[in-house]
Each structure stands twice: as structure tokens, then as C-alpha cells.
């Protein structure tokens, strides 16, 4: 299995605090050592980093822990391989372009005997069940809408498509097009909204505390989505089984 | 205008020496300060780094100058904006997936009034003439072949397609699918094949010399393609106007 980390904000925010705790699980506090990756949207643009080294040891992960990249939509993943070899093309998150936007996807879980019909314009480069699922989702989204639809419309379409994948196994995933972050839980996924008044947060995986009050303005709003809570002193909300939530501007859209 | 750097080898080789000289032109020895990017194939997988900061100052470029990433196909670019704002989505190289492979593209030049009909599955995310040209090339390659063709067939198709773009202006470009590196010159492009016996090379843009004989084995073969020669003591071959060359395993395929 793997672990997921997502962030969605109303103001570009750096993810160094969450990323620092999260990447400890890539070899130090947990054994997700089969590569890692992270993608940061900056407007329509994207920074995408993947590495087959354990996140706790990777020089690229070290750079990201130190270099504050500000983003409104971040997806990170640390891998413990179930299907597919340990190599770069099997590292999440995966990226594709659709309707002149980048789409980023990362998956935690295992889809058994999952061989969807990929007859259109999205094909996996690697050999994971996860990239197959992403390509199928992109294919079906492309068929369902002629151009980029609203977040609400996309959420409705995803609610129709996702059960067709999740019946094959565990399908916890994060998806973003830079405008929203969609998160779906089959089993384990938690989220936390941080807003005014901001307080201190204490990492569960490393001896590190940050006082967000000193780094934020009252209008800031940040949601963090993760496989297992990252902090010890905050209240994380568990996703219900098969719940799909869209996050926009740091807030859950529950419509 | 911008500058291009490409590398194609028969053995995964790190590009730190060439990249170090090249990135000096991003703010130190030349004024290509409007962002930069580099992509390294590792097998079918890809590491893709872009930054809107000048390459000579970027912390990500600093990482790559120090962290030897070994690859058989590398494309790098430093930008001096002609069309499109200075932001991440306008940084080269651009990446798309076709036939279950990643394709990487970077351009030097300026295409005037270039608005190709993009009616299929590749659309630009940013606003450069370059990304439009790449999307049109991908669209037309996808129409010309049902699945990934041989390097020779792709070269023939590219020779048909490229003049339809280059009549709009300067179109020096590098393209790779991880199997070959295609380079096309409208104006300035040089290449250099390094093979046994390897010698020392001295950077033109920084006081740095490397003895490749100490780092290579006799079977290694590396070709470097660049807008302006990177070293002072080697003989670089200029591309002829409108010449398109495919490089495979560190060697020019002139068929």
C-alpha cells in the first residue's frame, strides 16, 4: 500500500511542514520506501517531482522540505509497491493534459484484475493498476464533457465513474486540475481544515511544531487530506467509506 | 530567444557538466532569465523540472548541478520570453503522453501568427507559440501512426510536418520520446559526439574542466546538441539550415 497527502488552499501556501512529516513515512517512521512524488500547481503551471529513492533519503525530497514552493493545490505520494516494479514510470502522482489543463492523480490501494478498455487518448506509461485507473478516468471525463466543466459538474461525473473502478478493490485517490482537489476514500483518508484563528500544530512523525498564526493572515484557509493524521494536537475528520469530496479554496464542497 | 541543450547517449550518463555551463547563460554569462526547465528520461519514466526563476539562481537548478541524474535522453531549455508571460506554464520543456510514452519538447525561436488548428487531443496549457507547435506535432503524429512507430518512420513523418511549422518563423527544437532525440535547426544549433578515446573538455561559460576519460568506459557514446558550443577545446558541428537529425545511442542517424 501507499500513502497520500493533498493540500488545497485559497492562498498559495507552502507545504513544507506537512511534507516534512509525510516523507518521514518514506523510510523512517514507516516503510513506504518504493519511491515517492509530489506535484504543485502554480496557476495553470505544474511542478512535478518523482523519485524512485525512499522519500526520507531522496535529495529531491530534501530540496522540497527546504525550498518553500507555494501552491493552492498539492498532491504527494509515497509508494509501497503492490503492482508494478520500483521505477520512475511507476511513481505517483501521474500527470496528463486534458482540455488545456494539467490533471494530477495519486492512488492508495490495490485494484485486482483491473484491465479497463483504454480505446482513446490516454495510455499508461508504467505498469501500475493506479495509472490504468487514471487513464480510464481521463478517457471517460473527456467523453463526458466537451470542454472543461465546472467543479460541480466534474464532481457529479466522478461520482458516476468512481464506483466502476472501486468495485475492483481499494481505491483511495487524490485528483486535481489546479482548480479543485478531489479526494475519494475506500478505506482510510482523513482531512483537516485550518482557518482563522490559526494555532500551533505538532507533527506526529517528527519532533517539529509550527505556529501557523505567525505565518498566516485571517483570510487564509487550508485543507490537508492524508492517509493517516499528520499532527498529534488537531482533530482530523475521517472520510466515510466511498465518500468523494471536492475541495475548493481550502474548503470542502459537500453538495 | 532562448537556448536549447540536448543529450543522447548509449549508456545512462549524467548531464551535470553540460548543465552547469548551460545554466550560466540563464543570468550570468547571458540574459536568458525568464525561467528554465529540464527533462531526464529514465527508461520510460521521466523527471521533469521547470522553474520561472533564472537558471543561474534557481535552487532547483542548483540541485541538478549537484545531483547526478543519469539518463540516455535529456532536454534542457533556458528562456528569454518572446511570446507568453513569465510563468511556470510557459517554461519549456513541455511534456505530453502519446501511445503510452512520454514526449518532451523544447523550442528556440519565434513563430509569427502561428495559430494551428488543434482539433484533437493535445491542447496548450500556457500561451507560447512553442507549446502550440508541440501540440500540433503531437496531434499530427497521432494521426499518422496507429501506435509507436520506429525511429526511422517517425523521422520521415517529422520531415513532412516540420516545414509546415518552420515557414512561420525560427523553429529550432529538440524532441524526445526516450528512445531517440530529434533536433531541428532553422538557424543556430550545434552538436558534438563524444566517444572513445575520451579526452578533457573545458567549459566556455565557467572555469570548469572535466576529464571524461576518467569517467567513461570505451563503449560509451554521448552526443550533446546545443544552441551555442558549450566547450572551448572541442570541435562542434553546425546544423545546416532546416536540417533535422535523429540521434540514437549517442550517434546521429543520417538516413
pLDDT at B255: 58
Examine the pLDDT at B1 and tell me if it is beyond 80. no
What CATH number did the domain enclosing A8 receive? Answer: 3.60.20.10
What's the gap in Å between the CA of A182 and the closest CA on chain B?
Answer: 20
Q: Is A115 on the interface with B (CB under 8 A)?
A: no
Cβ <8 Å between B124 and A100: yes
Cβ <8 Å between B88 and A125: no
Residue among A49, A60, A125 whose CB faces B44 most closely: A125
Mean pLDDT over B233-252 rounds to 96
Q: What is the ipTM of this complex?
A: 0.94
Cβ <8 Å between A87 and B45: yes
| Domain annotation covers residue A144 | no
- Which residues span the domain enclosing A45? 3-107+171-253
Residue of B nearest to A60 (CA): B63
Using CA atoms, how far apart are residues A173 and A108, in angstroms rounded to an integer? 6
pLDDT at B206: 87
- Give the Å distances, CA to CA, from B133 to B71, B112, B137, B164: 26, 12, 6, 10
Q: Is B169 left (phi over 0), alpha (psi -120 to 50) or beta?
A: left
Task: Name B167's Cβ contacts closer than 8 Å, sequence gap at least 6.
Answer: none
Lowest mean pLDDT among A17-31, A39-53, A228-242, B152-166: A17-31
| Domain annotation covers residue A133 | no
Q: What is the pLDDT of residues B46-92, one digit of tens each?
A: 999 999 889 888 999 999 888 889 999 999 999 888 888 889 999 99
Q: How far apart are the first and last CA of chain A?
A: 30
Task: Name B228's Cβ contacts closer than 8 Å, sequence gap at least 6.
Answer: B3, B188, B190
| Domain annotation covers residue A248 | yes
pLDDT at B112: 92
* Domains contained in chain A, number: 1
Residue among B42, B47, B96 whose CB faces A97 most closely: B96
| Domain annotation covers residue A158 | no
Q: What is the pLDDT of residues A78-108, one digit of tens each?
A: 988 888 888 999 999 999 999 999 999 999 9
Q: Which residues of A touch B101 (CB under 8 A)?
A: 125
Mean pLDDT over B138-166 rounds to 96
Confidence of residue A243 (pLDDT cuts 50, 70, 90): very high
B2 as an active site residue: the answer is: yes
- Give the Å distances, CA to CA, from B140 to A159, A242, B144: 34, 41, 6
Q: Is B187 on the interface with A (CB under 8 A)?
A: no
| Domain annotation covers residue A156 | no
Cβ <8 Å between A43 and B88: yes
**% chain B with pLDDT above 90:** 74
| Domain annotation covers residue A124 | no
Mean pLDDT (chain B, rounded): 93
Cβ <8 Å between B45 and A88: yes
Amino acid at each position: 500500500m501507499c500513502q497520500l497527502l493533498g493540500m488545497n488552499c485559497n492562498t498559495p501556501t507552502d507545504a513544507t511542514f506537512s511534507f516534512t512529516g509525510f516523507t518521514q513515512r518514506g523510510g523512517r517512521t514507516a516503510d513506504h520506501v518504493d519511491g515517492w512524488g509530489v506535484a504543485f500547481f502554480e496557476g495553470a503551471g505544474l511542478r512535478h517531482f518523482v523519485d524512485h529513492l525512499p522519500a526520507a533519503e531522496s535529495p529531491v525530497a530534501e530540496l522540497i522540505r527546504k525550498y518553500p514552493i507555494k501552491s493552492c493545490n498539492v498532491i504527494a505520494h509515497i509508494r509501497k509497491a503492490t503492482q508494478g516494479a520500483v521505477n520512475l514510470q511507476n511513481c505517483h502522482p501521474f500527470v496528463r493534459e486534458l482540455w488545456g489543463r494539467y490533471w494530477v492523480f495519486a492512488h492508495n490501494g490495490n485494484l485486482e484484475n483491473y484491465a479497463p478498455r483504454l480505446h482513446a487518448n490516454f495510455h499508461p506509461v508504467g505498469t501500475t493498476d493506479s495509472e490504468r485507473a487514471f487513464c480510464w478516468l481521463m478517457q471517460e471525463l473527456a467523453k463526458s464533457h466537451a470542454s472543461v466543466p465546472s467543479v460541480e459538474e466534474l464532481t457529479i461525473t466522478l461520482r458516476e465513474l468512481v464506483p466502476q473502478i472501486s468495485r475492483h478493490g481499494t481505491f483511495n485517490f487524490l485528483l486535481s486540475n489546479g482548480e479543485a482537489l478531489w479526494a475519494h476514500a475506500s478505506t482510510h483518508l482523513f482531512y483537516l481544515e485550518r482557518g482563522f484563528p490559526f494555532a500551533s500544530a505538532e507533527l506526529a512523525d517528527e519532533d517539529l511544531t509550527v505556529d501557523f498564526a505567525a505565518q498566516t493572515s485571517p483570510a487564509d484557509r487550508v485543507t490537508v487530506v492524508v492517509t493517516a493524521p499528520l499532527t498529534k494536537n488537531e482533530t482530523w475528520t475521517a472520510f466515510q467509506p466511498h465518500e468523494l469530496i471536492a475541495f475548493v479554496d481550502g474548503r470542502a464542497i459537500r453538495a
